[in-house]
Structure 1
Amino acid sequence: MDQLAQTVDLVRDVMGPKLLGTYLHGSAVLGGLAPASDLDILAITRRSLDEAERRALVEGLLEISGLTPTVRPVELTVVVQSEVRPWRFPPTGDFLYGEWLREELQAGGLPRPGPMPDLALVVTVVLVGDHPLTGPPPAELLNPVPHTDLVRASVEGIPELLADLDDDTRNVLLTLARVWTTPSTGEIKTKDAAADWAMAHLPPEHRPVLEHARNLYLTCHYQDEVWSEELKGQVHPHVNDVLTRIDHLRPQA
């Protein structure tokens, strides 16, 4: 059984009648999975998960998800419908699993409810992708997100994102390109498409690192990443330039 089916079965078994629907989003619905793309799934529930349900989801996802050439990372977001319909910002997420949380979760931590600005992006892509795994079409459970909240969601995660720049360079550069692209175009693009748009709007000296990040995303798994010393030296000047451009967009939000 493939990872997507395993994850959907796990969610359905753990949540039972609480589950309203599960929906594919991310690269899978925006343009196709790259070698290192996550399997992104949103689950919409009637009520918040209890302790036992949180633990069962974590234990199952630790087995299903991974970071190898044959096992993709799974990112599962759970939201209670009443927290996002009617829509308000910032929304509250009920549960979040991602590979970057693995060590914390293996040590016994459990995802808890809390503000999750990124849900604005998730809900938008779920509605655009319209790919139910279980349940009705997403438009029957979710309201559209106003463009102003898409912009807010894009920029509010920047400080946390930058903290990972040296350890997760490829992902941070591509995500920043998407943060810039989303309010500029009104569209949520795949990471490689966002990089293409950004490179077309950058001066030549700031294009090479983003082009390299894009090429890695399209061709390599995380463990195969290689950055030359020359490219590493260009990362921070590139980021500073992109941040300046993003900052110029904030008054329009």
Structure 2
Amino acid sequence: MKKIFAGLFLVLSLIVVFSVSASTPSPKVEINGVKVYSPYNYQKKGTVFVDVDAFFTTVNQAYAINRTKKTVTFEKQTIPIQNFKEGYVASFDDLVKSVKGAGYTTMATKNKDGSVYLLVLPKGVIKLTPSVPKMGEHWAIPSTMPLGPIYGVEKGKLVFIEQMPAQEVFVTGKNIVNLDGMKGLPSPSINHTNIEYQKGGHEGYLVDHYDIHHYFITPKERDAIKGDMPH
């Protein structure tokens, strides 16, 4: 009888464990607003672990896994990995460290619900302005201005990319081709685009021109950005 009860207890314990694990969703992992899909993403004691293959495939850059040493190398940055089910995972913190160490401009956000977001911008990108109402912060490589692009960031998230072609370009009928975008890095789909004429220009570019914003967020989300400076 004791063996029967012990067996039942074991079965019930396994059912409870399975039910808890099955009902606990994988943490939401995003890079530039693009989801990193994998059944291997999980959270343990406050640490988020991410499928290594899924992460670097989303980053869209080359990487190499050493299965013997249990490491992954990304542009000469090597971090530890561990087996999980049929794949390999690494902590979100270590993955962020590897991307930042390779020279990319990064910003990591961890939320109370366990979700994580990694902003990855091209190498050399720096912050140019505080958050502008209905836009966000402006980040760019200064030497590439005014066509940039400029990257819009709000609360650590990518919200737009922008180019600022001079009015003269259109008046004289010149072509503008092969403008840089995300330089191969992950990018969400464009929700809408605003083309605004700037007579006399504005601070940083005092030339008649157009501000062309390609937004990754909705107009409602855009208008909700309060900003840190006057528009």
Bigger share in helix = 1
Do the two structures share a fold, i.e. TM-score over 0.5?
no
Q: Quick check: which has more Rg, 1 or 2? A: 2
**What TM-score bracket applies, with the shorter chain setting the length?**
under 0.3
Q: With CA pairs under 8 Å and 6+ residues apart, which has the higher RCO, 1 or 2? A: 1
Question: Could you tell me the TM-score, scaled by structure 1's length?
Answer: 0.25
Bigger share in strand = 2
Question: Could you tell me the TM-score, scaled by structure 2's length?
Answer: 0.27
